[in-house]
């Protein structure tokens, strides 16, 4: 008991993760001097592109509730009330696509996705409403049990009132990202704030560079004494500052001379720095560079392979998080024995038309796909069963190794029986010879 009480006490108020927003101490000022948080990071085109790509990919995948049948097969549980909630409409205000897109964007920016589970009197799930992660706190009570504390605002779900609401774990669909305790995930934006802050600084520098007419700094030299230098500087900026005044011809009076002191963006490797930061952000989210517009190292031959790797190594871990979290939170203990949720990624793995047809032909000829199985994958109408749409066929010239030569063995056995019959007739008085002769021919005909 001492060990268990110590365990619960140590995890009751951890310093950085179980407390839902504890990771936020990582956010704030970056080493580049630019403040970084989830919303400012989304103003970076690379971050916005990565979040949008992953959110739309998860939201666009078909999601189904399946039920096991006898023999190990499965079928869609179309009559289960949870099927429509996941596949079509989680709540009266959102489609399934919008709900999953919103939840996935929370997961990518804050490292956690929270949704309130609404149940009826039977305990069945009737609706799911997304909750803002930055207003959710996950903690433990004195008994070591988890609870969720949410700060409600007017714009939130209509099932809650203003103030602080305490939710039980059974009332929250929580999908955590990568974390240190397995309960609450860390924000990728917080962990990569320096890389994102540098990208923001580079973008701001480029904007100011062109705002200053591509000549961001210089010195106006006067051979004498300038009585009002501020007026001269303001007059110069008014005439030649801004991108609209770029390349204007300056007229200098009284022996004044202009000396630029800035260096070109190429000399400062400005463009290379910006490009590297885009690759850095794509690396954070594990998104192939060609998907965020960087085609420098992409070609016709390797983009298809990169797209397959995107599904396997980027999307699949997120999909598993979603599936297991939904199975854990939305299915009862009894339902978990026969129901499960599955995302269908076949659409993302589809090859070109010729490759698909060759694959279908192999599957059809080897008997592990029927015509209707193939037509369903191609979104075609089923062939009626009486016309053979559900038949599983194989090539007739294939047989098991241990059955090789079995027909030859049968033929030899039957030939021996015919010879024995001939010998028995020759030893008799000849009666019934015509019948035995006809029977022998009949047997030989069957052998042929």
CA dist 128 and 88 (Å) reads 12
- Find, among 86, 104, 83, 105, the residue nearest to 94 by Cα: 86
Return mean pLDDT, the chain.
76
CA dist 401 and 266 (Å) reads 70
pLDDT at 439: 54
Q: Are 148 and 227 in contact (CB under 8 A)?
A: no
pLDDT at 333: 92
Pairing outcome for strands 112-119 and 136-140: unpaired
CA dist 202 and 208 (Å) reads 10
- Find, among 363, 387, 358, the residue nearest to 373 by Cα: 363
Q: Where in the chain are the domains?
A: 11-215+264-349, 217-261, 401-447
* Region of residue 247 (phi > 0: left; psi between -120 and 50: alpha; otherwise: beta): left
User: How far does the chain reach from its first CA to its final CA, in angstroms?
Assistant: 84
Residues near 323 by beta carbon (within 8 Å), at least 6 away in sequence: 340, 341, 342, 343
Following DSSP, what letter does each residue of 195-262 receive, concatenated?
HHHHHHHHHHHHHHHHHTTT---EEEE-SS--S-HHHHHHHHHHHH-SGGGTTPPP---TT-EEEE--
pLDDT < 70 regions, the chain: 1-33, 155-162, 208-224, 226-228, 236-237, 239-255, 258-273, 294-295, 297-301, 347, 350-352, 398-448
162-163-168-169 Cα dihedral, nearest 10 degrees: 90
Spell out where 107-229 has E strands.
112-119, 125-131, 136-140, 146-152, 163-167, 172-176, 218-221
pLDDT at 406: 55
Helix axis angle, 433-447 relative to 406-426, nearest 10°? 170
Pairing outcome for strands 125-131 and 112-119: antiparallel
pLDDT at 95: 96
What is the number of alpha carbons within 13 Å of residue 395 lying toward its C-beta?
A: 9
C-alpha separations of 213 from 206, 246, 262, 265, 266 in Å: 11, 5, 12, 13, 16
Pairing outcome for strands 28-29 and 218-221: unpaired
CA dist 335 and 80 (Å) reads 11
Q: Are 288 and 305 in contact (CB under 8 A)?
A: no
> What are the pLDDT digits (tens) for 213-252?
545 466 666 666 766 677 777 776 676 665 555 556 666 6
């Amino acid at each position: 008991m001492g060990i268990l009480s110590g365990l619960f006490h140590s995890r009751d108020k951890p310093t950085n993760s179980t407390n839902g927003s504890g990771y936020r101490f990582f956010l704030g000022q970056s080493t580049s001097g630019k403040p970084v948080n989830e919303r400012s990071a989304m103003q970076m085109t690379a971050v916005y592109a990565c979040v949008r790509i992953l959110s739309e990919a998860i939201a666009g995948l078909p999601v189904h509730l399946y039920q096991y049948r006898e023999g190990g097969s499965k079928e869609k549980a179309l009559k289960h009330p949870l099927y429509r909630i996941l596949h079509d409409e989680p709540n009266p205000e959102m489609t399934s696509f919008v709900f999953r897109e919103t939840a996935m964007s929370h997961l990518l920016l804050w490292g956690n996705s929270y949704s309130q589970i609404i149940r009826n009197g039977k305990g069945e799930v009737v609706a799911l409403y997304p909750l803002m992660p930055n207003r959710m706190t996950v903690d433990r009570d004195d008994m070591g049990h988890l609870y969720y504390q949410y700060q409600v605002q007017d714009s939130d779900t209509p099932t809650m009132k203003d103030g602080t609401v305490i939710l039980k774990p059974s009332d929250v669909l929580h999908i955590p990202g990568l974390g240190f305790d397995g309960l609450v995930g860390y924000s990728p934006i917080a962990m990569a704030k320096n890389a994102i802050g540098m990208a923001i600084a580079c973008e701001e520098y480029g904007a100011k560079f062109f705002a200053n007419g591509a000549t961001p700094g210089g010195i106006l030299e006067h051979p004498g004494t300038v009585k009002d230098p501020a007026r001269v500087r303001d007059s110069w900026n008014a005439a030649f500052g801004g991108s609209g005044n770029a390349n204007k011809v300056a007229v200098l009076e009284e022996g004044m001379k202009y000396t630029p002191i800035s260096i070109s963006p190429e000399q400062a490797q400005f463009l290379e720095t910006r490009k590297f930061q885009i690759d850095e952000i794509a690396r954070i989210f594990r998104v192939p560079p060609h998907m965020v517009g960087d085609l420098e190292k992409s070609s016709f031959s390797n983009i298809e392979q990169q797209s397959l790797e995107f599904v396997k190594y980027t999307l699949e871990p997120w999909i598993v998080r979603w599936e297991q979290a939904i199975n854990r939170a939305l299915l009862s203990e009894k339902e978990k024995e026969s129901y499960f949720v599955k995302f269908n990624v076949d659409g993302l793995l589809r090859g070109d038309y010729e490759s698909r047809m060759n694959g279908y032909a192999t599957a059809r000829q080897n008997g592990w796909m029927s015509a209707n199985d193939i037509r369903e994958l191609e979104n075609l109408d089923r062939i009626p069963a009486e016309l053979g749409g559900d038949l599983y066929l194989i090539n007739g010239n294939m047989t098991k190794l241990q059955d090789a030569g079995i027909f030859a063995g049968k033929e030899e056995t039957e030939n021996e029986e015919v010879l024995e019959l001939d010998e028995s007739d020759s030893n008799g008085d000849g009666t019934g010879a015509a019948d035995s002769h006809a029977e022998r021919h009949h047997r030989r005909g069957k052998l042929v």
